[in-house]
Every structure is written in C-alpha cells, then in structure tokens.
C-alpha cells in the first residue's frame, strides 16, 4: 500500500495597512492590516497552487475582519473600503509563473501538449518512412562490399554479427560473417565493438537468395538454400538484417555501403 503525505500550506505574500479606516471593534484608526496569502499543496516541495486568500486583522485588538481560511461564500463583515483594498492588493500583486499553476491548469495546457506530441509523432513517422525507403533501396539492389548489422541464429542462440556481401552470382549472394559476436543489442557502442576489417570476417561463405528475389517476403532476412535428396531447395534461416524494415529508430546505420 502506498501512502502520499501532503499538506496544504498558506504562505503570506505581501501585507499593507489600510489607511484612513478604523477597526469596528476598538475604533483604532490605521490599525487594519491586509495580508495576501498563497495556498498550495506540498509534498516536501510545493506542487500545485490552490489560489490566493486574504486576511484583514486589527493590529491593535486582534479583531479578525476577514479570515483567509473562511469560505469564499462567507458573508462579508467589513466596509466597502476594506473590500476595495482587498480587490486592489489581489490585482496589483505580481505573481510568479509557479503561482499561476493550479491543478486545473492542465486543461489549458493539455491541448498544446497533445498538438506537440502529435507533431513529434508525425515527424518521427515521416523520418521512419524515409529511412525504410532508404533501406529498401539498399536491400533490393545489393552491391558487393555491403556490410549489414545482423542477427545470426546458431546453436539455438540469436547473436549480433556483421555480415559482409562478398560477391553476387545471378540470384545468389555470397556472404561472410564476423568471427566475433555480441549479445543482441540496440546500442551503438555495443555494435562498435565489431570490427569491419577484412581480417575480422570468417573465410566460410554462405549462399543466400538475392533480396530482390524475396522482395517483401522475409524482407531483409538471411536464408541459406540447400537441396534435399529430390533436388528441391529448402531454406535454412540464418538471421536478419537489423532494422531492415525500419520498425525502430535505432539512432545508427545498420546497412553500410561505401560511397
């Protein structure tokens, strides 16, 4: 069970004496002190404002003409001059930005937040679509020397490797993978641990179907095709080019081609 401990704080902001006005109890002139308060909810730190309140107290006899904790619908027991002074102090006291934030302020801010989020979402969607087109162009028209950040499925495990396209023969791509592997990651720093130097790749080549043959079926997936005893080809799944469908914004390139 979670408990939230909070308190309602009434903090004085400014005070002034109401000139040329006497206390109705002790009849002392210029003894009525008007104070403007800020009320807010605090949980160790101030959170939301709950509006401003005012009090009017006689500094001579302690008579309370206006209690800051009284209801806003409470009957006024003071003169029009005191009422004007209360109105004046509320209007002329300059509030900070924080003092303008109330729990219900979110309803004024919410439409702008929604518009901002929709704008960010639209921009991200457009960037994702453009990146997907870029990846599609690279995959559908592979070139010798292309290097892919890919998953590699082996011995029941899926790990990260660099896959290099060595040559193209008809509808067959000949690729090699790096000797070193990493745990599957979406971190650029982790992928930077894999070297793209020629010596970092194994000598063993894998024959896979040209991506343009597969088209959008298994788009960016690596399938090795072997022949069974009847001469019919059957696919063996090797892995997939990371983010080949641009489903995630990884923040780094996963298909590298020398310019």
Q: Per-residue pLDDT for 85 more than 80?
A: yes
Residue with tokens 């890919």: 150
Quick check: 232 pLDDT over 70?
yes
Asked if pLDDT for residue 9 goes beyond 50, the answer is yes
150 contacts: CB under 8 Å, gap ≥ 6: 160, 161, 162, 163, 177, 222, 239, 240, 241, 242
Instruction: State the Cα–Cα distance between residues 63 and 30, nearest whole angstrom.
Output: 13
Of 39-43, 46-50, 196-200, 236-240, which one has max mean pLDDT? 196-200
Q: What confidence score (pLDDT) does residue 51 get?
A: 74
Asked whether the predicted pLDDT for residue 125 surpasses 90, the reply is no
Identify whether the C-beta of residue 209 lies closer than 8 Å to the C-beta of residue 223: yes
Strand (E) positions, the chain? 7-17, 32-43, 45-58, 64-66, 147-154, 157-169, 172-177, 182-183, 206-209, 221-227, 233-241, 255-256
| Cβ-based burial of 200 (10 A; exposed 0-12, middle 13-18, buried ≥19) | middle
**Mean pLDDT (the chain, rounded):** 84
Q: Is residue 95 predicted with pLDDT exceeding 90?
A: no
Kindly tell me if the per-residue pLDDT of 189 is higher than 70: yes
Residues 6+ apart with CB under 8 A from 132: 245, 246
Predicted local confidence at residue 153, as pLDDT: 92
From residue 253, give the alpha-carbon distance in Å to each of 158, 159, 245, 246: 20, 18, 13, 10
> In terms of Cα–Cα distance, which of 74, 71, 76, 79 is closest to 23?
79
Please write the tens of the pLDDT for every residue from 197-221. Answer: 999 999 999 999 888 887 777 788 8
pTM assigned to the model? 0.57
**DSSP 8-state class, residue 29:** B
Percent of the chain with pLDDT over 70: 87
**Which of 15-29, 147-161, 228-242 is the least confident region?**
228-242
Choose among 168, 161, 171: nearest CA to 215.
171
Question: pLDDT value at position 48?
Answer: 60
pLDDT of residue 45: 54
Does 42 have pLDDT greater than 70?
no
User: In terms of pLDDT, which residue wins out, 4 or 201?
Assistant: 201
Please say if the pLDDT value at position 1 is more than 50. Answer: no
As given in the structure block, the two tokens for residue 173 are: 């791509």
Instruction: Give the residue ranges of DSSP H helices in 8-152.
Output: 80-92, 106-140
Smallest Cα–Cα separation from 150: which of 108, 178, 173, 123? 178
Give yes or no for a contact between 82 and 65, defined as CB atoms under 8 angstroms apart.
Answer: yes
Strongest mean pLDDT among 83-92, 93-102, 190-199: 190-199
Q: What percent of the chain has pLDDT above 90?
A: 38
222 near 237, Cβ under 8 Å?
Answer: yes
The tens digit of pLDDT for each residue in 165-174 reads 999 999 899 9
């Amino acid at each position: 069970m979670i408990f939230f401990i909070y308190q309602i704080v009434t903090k004085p902001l400014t005070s002034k004496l109401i000139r040329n006005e006497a206390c109705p109890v002790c009849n002392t002139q210029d003894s009525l002190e008007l104070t403007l308060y800020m009320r807010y909810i605090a949980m160790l730190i101030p959170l939301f404002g709950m509006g401003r309140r005012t009090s009017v107290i006689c500094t001579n006899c302690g008579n309370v003409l206006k209690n800051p904790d009284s209801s806003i619908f409470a009957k006024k027991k003071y003169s029009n001059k005191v009422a004007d002074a209360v109105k004046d102090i509320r209007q002329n006291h300059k509030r900070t930005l924080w003092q303008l934030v109330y729990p219900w302020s979110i309803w004024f801010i919410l439409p702008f937040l929604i518009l901002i989020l929709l704008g960010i979402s639209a921009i991200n969607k457009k960037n994702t679509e453009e990146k997907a087109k870029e990846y599609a162009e690279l995959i559908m028209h592979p070139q010798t020397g292309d290097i892919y950040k890919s998953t590699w499925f082996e011995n029941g495990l899926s790990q990260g490797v660099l896959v290099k396209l060595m040559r193209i023969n008809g509808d067959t791509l000949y690729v090699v993978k790096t000797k070193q592997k990493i745990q599957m990651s979406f971190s650029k720093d982790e992928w930077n641990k894999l070297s793209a130097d020629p010596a970092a790749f194994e000598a063993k080549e894998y024959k896979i179907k040209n991506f343009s043959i597969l088209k959008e079926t298994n788009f960016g997936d690596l399938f090795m095709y072997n022949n069974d005893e009847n001469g019919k080809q059957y696919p063996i799944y090797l892995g997939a080019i990371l983010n080949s469908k641009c489903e995630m914004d990884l923040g780094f390139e996963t298909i590298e081609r020398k310019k």
